[in-house]
Amino acid sequence: MLAKVLLTLSVVLTIGTIGWWIHDSIDYGKLLILSKTAREVIVVERDPLFGQPIKRLELQPGRWLGLFDAAPPFGAVPLCSVWIALGAFGWWLRKRAART
Amino acid sequence: MVRFVCVLCGVLVVTAWAGEKTFVLTNAGKYRNQAQFTSTAPLETIVGTADHFSGEFTLDVAEFKRASGTVTVEVRSMKTGNTTRDGHMHGSDWLDANRYPTITFQLKRLVSPSISREAERTVVKAKAIGDFTLHGATKEITADITITYLERSEKTRAIADGDLALVQASFSVPLAEFGIKGKGTLIGSRVGETITVEATLLGVSK
């Protein structure tokens, strides 16, 4: 029973994490290699006083999941590795139960 | 005769320096001093900002032939939208903010200024030459700059009490020339070998 739960959990969490990364990448507007804690928004406005276009970069706070972060917040690949390891453990439990 | 020569010299010196004004970097009204830096590498483009500026510069606002000054920015105010990466950027493998807490540009001169005057504005496009100090190394660099100068008026008073000079500059920083080696093989793959910088700075005359 535990093996089945672990295998199911592994599949669900792996697909969920990849889905989460894809969702965040779409929301952010580009494939996120590393997680983001702010979104870069470039604003260019023609300033009426100076008569010049003024470029400003705003970092809007938020949280978007990246792919490879090996430190907190962990990216999708390290997280999926944990979920897959969990599944492998479940698979091993199932094999062992089948042998006995 | 000697008195005449002295007076003449004095007049010439005063005339020559009469157009010089000193501007202090100020965040005023909606105007915020900011630099944007971009690293373009095959695996990733990183865009960030720096905004803790200080310093002042002097301009000959009549002919824009003479210019000097120092602009300093705090390394720890540099942000890229990823707090972990910011920590690495400020760390000893990269900018080493503990040892080198600031980045400085010391303006030495303006080259080939092209001046256009329109209504109350004077717009100057020029090359600014100065010493750029980063990571403890100093190199002479050239920046493309646009200075928009406004004399004190009712309009400028809404921003700050003084003449205003908006400086927009862009230049490139080759990391290797400043002794920044980064970690492993990140430079060239995930971090560009050259960082492009665009800065918008507002100076208010003293």
Under 8 Å CB-to-CB from B197, ≥6 apart: which residues?
B35, B36, B37, B38, B169, B170, B171, B172, B173
Please say whether the beta carbons of B48 and B62 come within 8 A: no
Measured in angstroms, the CA of A94 and the nearest CA of chain B are apart by 39
- Kind and range of the H or E run holding B71: strand B67-74
Task: Pick left, alpha or beta for residue B184 (phi over 0 → left; psi -120 to 50 → alpha; otherwise beta).
Answer: left
Confidence (pLDDT) at B12: 44
List, as own/partner pairs, every contact residues B83-89 make where C-beta atoms lie below 8 angstroms and the sequence separation is at least 24, other chains included.
B83/A37, B84/A34, B84/A35, B84/A69, B84/A71, B84/A72, B84/A73, B85/A34, B85/B46, B88/B183, B89/B48
Handedness of CA B18, B24, B27, B33 (dihedral sign): positive
Each residue's pLDDT tens digit, B76-95: 999 998 888 899 999 999 99
Specify the pairing of strand B121-134 against strand B137-150. Answer: antiparallel
The residue in chain B having the minimum alpha-carbon distance to the alpha carbon of residue A75 is: B84
* pTM of the model as a whole: 0.79
Question: How many whole angstroms from its chain centre is CA B72?
Answer: 8
pLDDT tens per residue across span B125-144: 999 999 999 999 999 999 99
**pLDDT over 90 for what percent of chain B?**
74
Cβ density class B53-74: b for 16+ within 10 Å, e for less: bebbbbbbbeebebbbbbbbbe
- Residues of chain B with Cβ-Cβ distance to A51 below 8 Å are 118, 121, 123, 148
For chain A, give the percent of residues with pLDDT over 90.
64
Is A72's CB within 8 Å of B84's CB?
yes
Contacts of A33 in chain B (CB under 8 A): 43-44, 190
Size of interface A-B (CB pairs under 8 A): 63
**Cβ-contact B115, B123 below 8 angstroms:** yes
- In this prediction, what percent of chain B has a pLDDT beyond 70? 91
Q: State residue B16's pLDDT score.
A: 45
Burial class of residue B7, CB neighbours in 10 A (0-12, 13-18, 19+)? exposed
CB contact under 8 A, A35 and B47: no
Report the pLDDT averaged over residues A36-58. 90
A6-44: pLDDT as tens digits: 999 999 999 999 999 999 999 998 888 888 888 888 899
pLDDT at res. B3:
64
Banded model confidence at residue B15, pLDDT cuts 50, 70, 90: very low
pLDDT tens digit string along B44-59? 888 999 999 999 999 9
CA distance B12 to chain A (A): 33
**Alpha helices by DSSP H, chain A:** 2-28, 76-99
Is B14 a residue whose pLDDT tops 80? Answer: no
Q: What is the mean pLDDT of residues A51-62?
A: 90
Phi, psi of A35 (to 5 degrees): -65, 155
Tokens describing residue B198: 């665009």
Question: Would the CB atoms of B123 and A57 count as touching at under 8 Å?
Answer: no
**Residues paired with B195 in a beta bridge:** B39, B173
* Minimum CA–CA partner of A53 in chain B: B168
Closest CA to B115 of B66, B150, B63: B63
Task: Say what the pLDDT of residue B11 is.
Answer: 47
- The SS3 of residue A10 is helix
